[in-house]
Structure 1
Amino acid sequence: MSSQTMYGFSSLTTFATLVITMATVLVFFVLKNRKVLLSVKSEQHQLPPGPPTLPFIGNIHQMMWNKPAVFRWIHRLLQGMDTDIMCLRLGAIYVVAVTCPEIACEVLRKKDEVLASRPATFASGSFSFGYKGTIVTPHGEKWKKMRRVLTSEILTPSMEQKLHHLRQEECDHLVTYINNTCMACPDNLVDVRHVARHFCGNMIRRLVLGKRYFGSELPGSSASGPGHDEMAHVAALFTLLNYLYNFCVSDYFPALIGFDLEGHEKVSKDVMGILNRLHDPIIEKRIIERSNLRNGGECKEARDFLDVLVYLDDADGQPLLSVDDIRAQIVEMMYATIDNPSNAVEWALAEMVNKPEVMKKATDEIDAIVGKDKLVQESDIPRLNYLKSCIREAFRIHPYHAFNPPHVAMVDTTIAGYTIPKDSHVILSRMGLGRNPKIWNKPLDFQPERHLNTANVLLSEPGLRFISFSSGRRGCPGISLGTSVTMMLFAKMLQGFTWTKPAGVDRISLQESNTGALALAEPLVLQAKPRLAAHLYEKN
């Protein structure tokens, strides 16, 4: 059974569910929000353009009909209206979608201060332990505190250097694991999605928790694949990502929370049950360890991100962070690291296998700069401009999420000359920006050369012609770490192996998933053959 069927996506399009949902919405919305609806501003003509709305519910009925891929409906509307900014009304909430770099820069820079909050939803509240973290926490003192911890204690150059050996070990394990996998298969077939996602899972568990496996690591396990708990962990993190800000009807009609009309609440609770089961014993052990060391007058150097969080003190020498603060920040670091690198590398390889000339340029570059007698290192990344251009192109065309997380207007403001009422949600379209034909020539063509216009190609995009790492107050503070994880995954795979289509396959399908994410519809499976000396695969 597919995950979509398990989590109830298949039932969303049935007529009965729609009727029940809309009837309940109308009753509760009229009873609890009548005053709000009657006070809709007379200046509606100043709002960005948008489709006609119904009384009370706005465009909710259309949103429901277009599940699970609501983002495709929104982009069809934008294209049909030939506009780069559009306003929907979902209940009493205005949702403003943007696909233009200039307007995106206005949102994240000029108007960043008033658009620095996040919406409160059942999923975001659950995934953040009641808004104890940074990514989804609404603007306020808690967000400011946790953001300071993240930027000044965790994602610092000194901490990045301190944990370099962990990242290097994981990258070496990756090469050995792929080699063992393709050697064990008669056709040398490798599931690229499985490899990429679990590399990211292994990497962030090592950096955050100091260990790859939740159980005991046995001798020789360093090059083995994920076990049951590790598989469950990665699956839970991707489920979380797929349900966060997923246009759930109760996001716009909070009175419906508790009815779980779409099954989102059960999924959210199940996900957090898995993550808590796996994370909590490790966190509790570290807290006890801290207490014992402090009672004995000892201190110790941080081994990983969890140590940093647990050992932070306030001015009185007491723990700066509560247990839930630590739990929330750990979950956020996990899911913020796992999706974009794995998705970009899978898409880049899919595109490149269909374009052998691009694959050849990439492998020629890595051979010329790194050679074939040693494995690529993080210090090589600045010179691998063509490889970085391939990843930029994957980020541009194939983001995992169609939209950035919503920015909530804390006061009435304007964008592109249009009125944006307080509490509106502004969403920047990663897909719309990266595929905008007004910005990009042949926007759907994979052309890494279009990014080779600087001596040092970066994965970030300051002009917001596409979004890899967001900017502004809510921007990604982990650009350096994200770049390292993405590029080392990609470079190790390209340097270590020749990747080709499986026998009998003329072309790799580039069809996108029809769910709420933009992953490949089917996991990418390729033939892999080692291209380096045998001893380089055996060092683990």
Structure 2
Amino acid sequence: MEHSPSLFLSTLQSLWLFVIIVLKPLIPSLIQKWSKKQKPKLPPGPKPWPMVGNLPEMFANKPVHRWIHNLMKQMNTEIACIRLGNTYVIPVTCPTIAKQFLSEQDAIFASRYVNTCTDLVTSGHVTTVLVPYGDQWKKMKKILTTALLSSHKHLWLQNRRTEEADNLMFYVYNKSKSVNNGVAGLVNIRSVAKHYCGNVIRKILFNKRYFGKGRKDGGPGFEEEEHVDSIFILLKYVYAFSISDFIPPLRRLDLDGHQKKVREALNVMKKYHDPIVQERVKQWNDTPKMDEQDWLDILISLKDADNKPLLTMEEISAQIVEVLMAAVDNPSNAFEWALAEMINQPNLLQRAIEELDSVVGKERLVQESDIPKLNFVKACAREAFRLHPLADFNVPHVSMSDTTVGNYFIPNGSHVLLSRKGLGRNPKVWNEPLKFKPERHLTSDNGSNVVLTEPNLRFISFSTGRRGCPGVMLGTTMTVMLFARLLHGFTWTAPPNVSKINLVESNNEINLAEPLMAVAKPRLAPQLYHL
């Protein structure tokens, strides 16, 4: 049967008329549905102001980390989007979503956020942890992982770490025999823990404990106190929320004063570091066959394919600053919080002591070789990392392209902040999340060996993925030795006028509001404490 052309045209016209009359009103909604399917919404968040985003709210609600967490709680969300200037800031408190960022899409979120303070600390972003993804980061990370933090180098420097663990015992023993504020044996735990960590990393870097003359009791001198204080100033301000960072034309104005504080702290550190570095470089130039004694020697002696120095003086100096920043904060903060919690729960202290006495006995000091067997001590450290992190958020991860995470659109250039507190205290993940319960980590999941890493991001200790901490072995050793030596060597109690340690967080940060003061009493033979 043949169809005439006029019939075909008439049918076509009818179909077109149907489209215009019936489907035209539906076209916008169909396009909208298609668009939504192709490009999901941003995570929930407060409505931003034109140009400045949510900077007015950020400025009005200090500290910013509490404002962010309260905002997420009010919105009942585990991922949010807060626009600061033109930057999308994405805080996350859900381990499942966090894993999508740092495991499933790790390659996209492997860069870093650049601001004036990071530029100052890294001498123009020539280091590792704080620099954007690229060739410089790859070069420096390879040096860290293969030249400094390998298993071989870790074993090579074991004696240096042991020297500082021995000095820790000597110093606290001397404090236990003295009177502080009218109380015999009263010890400032925050000071002791910070300076132990500072001593270890200085010995590894420079093969020295003291920049100055030192002290006969094993404690820090003025130079070491100034040095460690400067490290913590850098840690406080390098990624602090600053209006200047989110409005580029204002960066040079330093409206919050963060840049000034960072410069001053860097000047203090370089006052001590640079003369050592310069003298050591001269020694290597004058005596090419010198033996390597520490990390500084390694950094200076590295050669490129043409047998020329692989690193510039600027790279060496900046990397030293960054290493120091990475080494002193988490172990010292974890021990201070853990001991405060354990003094309030004496059964936990007793359990740790029983484990240490069983593994080590009372005729010798704890050694690094004992660490695999000290599972309850390691569980206490894990629990401190979970419940009491030093920083509110991890170092920001910056997306290098548009992507989708957790069914939300994450634009290129977004700053992803994994909440250390939000992950570690998430009630959907942890039973009694605000209670210090080390035994929660003694499960069949970890077999017979508790570790401080947490690849599932239920809390953050060393993070994971491309930008995870390469110093897991060193960080674990420093942390566990700090816990084990002090728990094994002394009994700890609250001061006589204190019935219970006050576990209140500070107003602006999440460390203890006041340094922990505790009374130490030696529990081993006196000769074990002497150098």
Q: Is contact 1:200-1:485 (8 Å) kept?
A: yes
Q: What CA distance in whole angstroms lies between the structure 2 residues aligned with 1:256 and 1:229?
A: 35
Q: Deviations over 1:327-347 (max 9, x none)?
A: 111011101000000000000
Structure 2 unaligned regions, length at least 5: 1-34
- Secondary structure of residue in 1 paired with 2:89: strand
What's 1:90 paired with? 84
State the one-letter code of the partner of 2:51: F
- Secondary structure of residue in 1 paired with 2:334: helix
| Partner residue of 2:501 out of 485, 503, 508 | 508
What's 1:406 paired with? 396
State the one-letter code of the partner of 1:518: I
Q: What CA distance in whole angstroms lies between the structure 2 residues aligned with 1:284 and 1:305?
A: 15
Q: Is contact 2:394-2:419 (8 Å) kept?
A: yes
1:241 matches 2:235: yes
- Secondary structure of residue in 1 paired with 2:450: coil
Alignment of 1:226-237 (within 5 A): 226-237=220-231
Which stretch shows the higher mean deviation, 423-432 or 178-187? 178-187
Q: What CA distance in whole angstroms lies between the structure 1 residues aligned with 2:299 and 2:94?
A: 39
What's 1:54 paired with? 49
What's 2:482 paired with? 489
Q: What CA distance in whole angstroms lies between the structure 1 residues aligned with 2:527 and 2:148?
A: 36
Q: Is contact 2:284-2:290 (8 Å) kept?
A: no
- Secondary structure of residue in 1 paired with 2:449: coil
- Secondary structure of residue in 1 paired with 2:528: helix
| Partner residue of 1:210 out of 185, 199, 207 | 207
Q: Deviations over 1:354-406 (max 9, x none)?
A: 00111111111101111011000011011000011111100000000010011
| Partner residue of 1:175 out of 169, 175, 186 | 169
1:518 matches 2:515: no
Q: Is contact 2:455-2:463 (8 Å) kept?
A: no
Q: Is contact 2:403-2:412 (8 Å) kept?
A: yes
- Secondary structure of residue in 1 paired with 2:177: helix
RMSD of aligned C-alpha atoms?
1.3
Q: What CA distance in whole angstroms lies between the structure 2 residues aligned with 1:439 and 1:113?
A: 26
Q: What CA distance in whole angstroms lies between the structure 2 residues aligned with 1:416 and 1:222?
A: 57
Q: What CA distance in whole angstroms lies between the structure 1 residues aligned with 2:54 and 2:127?
A: 31
State the one-letter code of the partner of 2:267: G
What's 1:5 paired with? none
What's 1:366 paired with? 356
| TM-score, L = length of structure 2 | 0.91
**Displaced runs of 4 or more, over 4 A:** 41-45
Q: What CA distance in whole angstroms lies between the structure 2 residues aligned with 1:240 and 1:509?
A: 27
1:473 matches 2:466: yes
Q: Cα distance, 1:44 vs. partner?
A: 8.7
| Partner residue of 1:156 out of 134, 150, 157 | 150
Q: Cα distance, 1:255 vs. partner?
A: 1.1
Q: Cα distance, 1:275 vs. partner?
A: 1.0
| Partner residue of 1:254 out of 241, 244, 248 | 248
Which stretch shows the higher mean deviation, 349-358 or 243-252? 243-252
Alignment of 1:34-45 (within 5 A): none
State the one-letter code of the partner of 1:235: D
Q: Deviations over 1:417-444 (max 9, x none)?
A: 1111111100101100000000001100
What's 2:188 paired with? 191
Q: Cα distance, 1:457 vs. partner?
A: 0.3
Q: What CA distance in whole angstroms lies between the structure 2 residues aligned with 1:306 and 1:141?
A: 22
| Aligned length in residues | 490
State the one-letter code of the partner of 2:469: C
Q: Cα distance, 1:184 vs. partner?
A: 1.2
Q: Is contact 2:45-2:80 (8 Å) kept?
A: yes
Q: Deviations over 1:216-260 (max 9, x none)?
A: 45xxx4642111111110000000000011111111112112212
Q: Cα distance, 1:215 vs. partner?
A: 2.5
Q: Is contact 2:238-2:262 (8 Å) kept?
A: no
What's 2:15 paired with? none
1:201 matches 2:198: yes
Q: Is contact 1:115-1:410 (8 Å) kept?
A: yes
1:455 matches 2:445: no
Q: What CA distance in whole angstroms lies between the structure 2 residues aligned with 1:97 and 1:505?
A: 38
Q: What CA distance in whole angstroms lies between the structure 2 residues aligned with 1:178 and 1:149?
A: 36
| Partner residue of 1:535 out of 505, 527, 530 | 527
| TM-score, L = length of structure 1 | 0.89
1:347 matches 2:344: no
Q: Cα distance, 1:495 vs. partner?
A: 0.6
Q: Cα distance, 1:514 vs. partner?
A: 1.5
Q: What CA distance in whole angstroms lies between the structure 2 residues aligned with 1:409 and 1:438?
A: 27
Q: What CA distance in whole angstroms lies between the structure 2 residues aligned with 1:414 and 1:216?
A: 57
What's 1:63 paired with? 58
Q: Is contact 1:389-1:449 (8 Å) kept?
A: yes
What's 2:492 paired with? 499
- Secondary structure of residue in 1 paired with 2:287: helix
State the one-letter code of the partner of 2:517: V
Q: Cα distance, 1:187 vs. partner?
A: 2.0
Q: What CA distance in whole angstroms lies between the structure 1 residues aligned with 2:269 and 2:495?
A: 36
What's 2:7 paired with? none
State the one-letter code of the partner of 1:83: T
State the one-letter code of the partner of 1:62: E
Q: What CA distance in whole angstroms lies between the structure 2 residues aligned with 1:486 and 1:191?
A: 18
Q: Is contact 1:173-1:223 (8 Å) kept?
A: no
- Secondary structure of residue in 2 paired with 1:472: coil
What's 1:308 paired with? 298
Q: What CA distance in whole angstroms lies between the structure 2 residues aligned with 1:500 and 1:391?
A: 19
What's 1:74 paired with? 68
Q: What CA distance in whole angstroms lies between the structure 2 residues aligned with 1:395 and 1:224?
A: 28
